[in-house]
Structure 1
């Protein structure tokens, strides 16, 4: 919808700027049955989906030429849309995988195929992956963590948590139904799901919560291969790991040491049948979207309950998501080059460089950092990698994805996943490629990677209301300018500040400076902690890093906006509130409060502006107004 279709309630700005800007829109907005949210970000997603689904049909029809990787995407898109074949095949493509699990007699059987099992993406009670070494970020290292729980977070398993009582019965009935659909009797399905839940419950106490995982300082727990392998006497992790990386790594970074400390007591003979059932439930649910329409509908029951969606995504869009998700960088490249282009890429790149210059000026004029820390902060900023629009080239991985139309959809997808997993493990101990994107250019998002010290802005987010040539400079700075500076700020939030200019975990702060920063971070925690929202409360510790980044981003973007000849701070603050426009289901709001490291969108809009003195002068906000925050409580970090 055009941004001026709904008027702004000017009188309400002093009490709640988010409601003043978005209130009438919220009153009229309707959440589609297959959505959990509607608003700024999601509207862009829907528009991009519509565009790329149309273009995918044109590619199939031959009206748009498709070569190389894009041609393989077209074949897979045709396959995901062949609903008649998917109905005919039913559960048959999944049977070989089910049989692999059913045929396991003991841990020895699993041991004999463990590395192949992990390459195939089949569920195992631990997780290994490749990422830059947190201490020596120029090379890739092996990381070890825990498996995902059935519910979104370990806090859901706490005694008398109403979310558990609400969600686990839905999870249970869905998986019992799926198991009967692959041939199990109702009694056997009930028993298997119960056993799977038993193992899941045994795992839950030993894994990190979302709040604990949000603290990067606790991620780096290096262990030797021997130490990790000794976590279990039942499985030969030393051989499996050596097979995966084709070497014996001296160091493995264990992100969840408490889990591996207790792994041996989880992998017991008594628990083997529980683990088999857990694997079976994960596999049938995990592959349900690749089978018939009934499997897709049933397999999405729990996620819809979790997010509050009333209906499943329609069949056509779900088919597009399957194909585009597999070839995400290929579709991103197509989207970026066709709908964004080199000119816009260069323009936004200049905008990023301008924001970095503003940030540098603010660091150099900072009144609480010592000269020593300032020098290191500016050094880190000067080496920040900038990625805008789309990568210069498509990841060579996608040249290995060859669609075999004689195979089922499931067989093709699992083969691609195995190729991608092997490709990832092959990067162990190799130099880190900082040009590699971890997000499609067609995704409405942006990110900072602390291990690489890079910021990435996909083409999809670089449009109105975030950025447009039709918007004023102040509106653009209140939109994409604040987003750009937000990502830059992640280099200096409570997590990013732990890493130096190379992306390595290295304390570059003086003791006094870090103590002061910790006090500021606590102020940010206090500002957001326990704010009532959606029938619950905000967790200030969970959201602190994103809140620090929002504060830095908004502050620096405002400084940039004020440098322009047409500076209009009212327009700046209003567009900042507009980009967070969102209407969501109660279920989705509750989910985000539990696991999302971002504060709720309305609070990102209305709380952060309270920290800027110019907000008060721009709208004449006084201590009589609800938006007023006394000067001593205004958090000013960057």
Structure 2
């Protein structure tokens, strides 16, 4: 039996403005005129027409909220399980290689006694260092050690990321707090009840360190007040999707020093290991939060700061701490699965950087990559024609958009390279020692990345995930191996079927380069709203307003709930832009039929009602049936192919239809 906790290996984050979408992100809905839309005629409900067999025969497995998915992601899991098992059973691997790491993780995991191992010495030492700190200056140096050696960022959500104003450069960025100690700021908007769990957890943690109940409770209350202080400084933006690139504030070193008057912030960066030559320019999203954190870096807040650090340590490393304390038994779960199965799951969950190259080598070919890139080039040419023929664009903007289009690069499985084995050759010991050695390599790489130029061909999305995304700061499109195969792309299959499936997704991502969020980045990925002429931006915003009305006025969920046109605008327009692009590549009605059918099939999914309703308030994607039917209902050639007439369910009067480019 193993006591486990879901804890990922700590890797400091890098970030860029990315628009990523999977063909099966969201749920299906019922339109307002159910009888007509469920007739099975393509003219009434094309989504149902194309997916009728799967939807009519869909069965929800016990506990599942989805059924009839376009893609069965258990296939990915099965492949990864086979990779891990094959590697674990092998021999003769080069030290530090992906196979060596996987096999070492497997062997050390199955031999580690999670039930009785004491708290590891280095972990106990840093816990003691936190509690023994006499001043805020001492504690912030310990926080630097936690960042550097344990991947824990207690006081700041700090990471090396791309500078949106200088192409190719990285910058230290303070990301906004939208939660602290597992308390989301959104939940605090409805009152302080969410803090009761924080106080309770902190009381338990502090008691394991020898404090009595009353003292431990005081630590919890002080931490809760600290969280409330940061929440109060956050203003109206309390969720991650409240922030975008327009909120980026650039601070000089002197400006940052003027904010952090209570601590030596430059010494903090130095203690972590960031190159001081690149600590002269900083990004942040919420300056008031930084001012608040500085105000808390004082001696009379020391107990709250210590409680914050302890909470972070325990949350991150609970499975290595809990065996020493009966009171922590409730924070881990007992698993009775075979230890070998648990080891495989551990590796699949936490060693994706190691399984990813092996997945690519086993399931991706040059033939597939060549065909994929060829289709991407075709889509680029489709956009070239759309932009060239868009009469509403001024000539300077048209020229700029064509330059941006030409500068888009594709990132695929062939761009994923194996790592430098020398970095990992010395990793060993028991599972905890392996875990920390591996973690620290990742942390060191992130720290070092600050002084390294951004690689536009760098792979920032796991190739084993079913996804594709556009990055505005790199002006590139990443297409994973998992989406470039199986249900979405058949290298030996029909071109137009592929085009309506994965091609539509790629065209969608390419369309993000020109939506209202990403168009403010120029061809080099620099944030510069002024590079687009005012009259062109005004024309785009006018089209945006019409698109919002189109989706809100014409499409509902269960005939009651309206789609939020503002929330879903970027994704809706990317869908429409992608469709307008790929239909230009068809040469006949037969080609168009294949595109439309495979497009609808790629979005097949049935969801339970509560999931569908819930997504309307938070998901930037429209429900799948709307992503299909709303897009085709405003696509002119769809009317021609299926002879859609007034009175049909898919019919929208011409004056109410929208277009991204025409």
TM-score range, shorter chain: 0.7 to 0.9
* Displacement after TM superposition at 1:229 (Å): 2.8
* Displacement after TM superposition at 1:191 (Å): 5.6
Assess if the C-alpha contact under 8 Å between 1:297 and 1:312 holds in 2.
no
Q: 2:251: which partner in 1? A: 223
Q: 1:556: which partner in 2? A: 581
| 1:225-254 CA distance string (max 9 Å, x none) | 122233233322122234542215332122
Matched, 1:494 2:545: no
| 1:74-95 CA distance string (max 9 Å, x none) | 2343157427522332755754
> Aligned Cα RMSD in Å?
3.9
| Alpha-carbon spacing, 1:286–1:296, altered in 2? closer, same or farther (3 Å) | farther
Larger-gyration structure (1/2): 2
Q: Please give the alpha-carbon distance, in whole angstroms, between the structure 1 residues aligned to 2:619 and 2:329.
A: 26
Matched, 1:341 2:365: yes
Q: 1:274: which partner in 2? A: 304
* Displacement after TM superposition at 1:533 (Å): 5.3
Assess if the C-alpha contact under 8 Å between 2:157 and 2:176 holds in 1.
yes
Q: 1:484: which partner in 2? A: 506
Residues matched between the structures, number: 612
* Displacement after TM superposition at 1:20 (Å): 4.5
1:173-322 aligned at under 5 Å gives the runs: 193-207=220-234, 208-210=237-239, 213=242, 215-219=244-248, 221-243=249-271, 244-248=273-277, 249-288=279-318, 319-320=343-344, 322=346
Q: Please give the alpha-carbon distance, in whole angstroms, between the structure 2 residues aligned to 1:382 and 1:486.
A: 16
1:303-382 aligned at under 5 Å gives the runs: 319-320=343-344, 322-382=346-406
Q: Please give the alpha-carbon distance, in whole angstroms, between the structure 2 residues aligned to 1:312 and 1:602.
A: 41
> Which 5+ residue runs of structure 2 have no aligned equivalent?
1-36
Q: 1:517: which partner in 2? A: 540
Higher relative contact order (CA 8 A, sep 6+): 2
| Alpha-carbon spacing, 1:536–1:345, altered in 2? closer, same or farther (3 Å) | same
Assess if the C-alpha contact under 8 Å between 1:132 and 1:138 holds in 2.
yes
Assess if the C-alpha contact under 8 Å between 2:106 and 2:344 holds in 1.
no
* Displacement after TM superposition at 1:369 (Å): 0.9
Q: Please give the alpha-carbon distance, in whole angstroms, between the structure 2 residues aligned to 1:295 and 1:484.
A: 51
* Displacement after TM superposition at 1:376 (Å): 0.8
| 1:398-438 CA distance string (max 9 Å, x none) | 642346442443x4334433332332232324322222111
Q: 2:470: which partner in 1? A: 448
TM-score (ref. length: structure 2):
0.80
The correspondence for 1:30, drawn from 21, 41, 60, is: 60
Q: Larger helix proportion, structure 1 or 2? A: 1
* Displacement after TM superposition at 1:171 (Å): 7.4
1:464-479 aligned at under 5 Å gives the runs: 464-469=486-491, 471-479=493-501
Matched, 1:637 2:643: no
| 1:591-624 CA distance string (max 9 Å, x none) | 7555544334443333333331233344444443
The correspondence for 1:457, drawn from 475, 479, 483, is: 479
User: Which deviates more, 361-370 or 92-101?
Assistant: 92-101
Q: Please give the alpha-carbon distance, in whole angstroms, between the structure 2 residues aligned to 1:80 and 1:566.
A: 59
Q: 1:48: which partner in 2? A: 76
Matched, 1:423 2:445: yes
Assess if the C-alpha contact under 8 Å between 2:205 and 2:314 holds in 1.
yes
TM-score (ref. length: structure 1):
0.83
Matched, 1:547 2:578: no
Q: Please give the alpha-carbon distance, in whole angstroms, between the structure 1 residues aligned to 2:645 and 2:488.
A: 29
Assess if the C-alpha contact under 8 Å between 1:196 and 1:275 holds in 2.
yes
Matched, 1:156 2:177: no
Assess if the C-alpha contact under 8 Å between 1:499 and 1:505 holds in 2.
yes
* Displacement after TM superposition at 1:485 (Å): 0.8
Q: 1:110: which partner in 2? A: 139
Q: 1:612: which partner in 2? A: 635
| Alpha-carbon spacing, 1:10–1:587, altered in 2? closer, same or farther (3 Å) | closer
* Displacement after TM superposition at 1:24 (Å): 5.9
* Displacement after TM superposition at 1:359 (Å): 1.2
Q: 2:459: which partner in 1? A: 437
| Alpha-carbon spacing, 1:277–1:349, altered in 2? closer, same or farther (3 Å) | same
| 1:462-515 CA distance string (max 9 Å, x none) | 123211246533321121001111111121122221111111112321110011
Secondary structure in 2 matching 1:456: strand
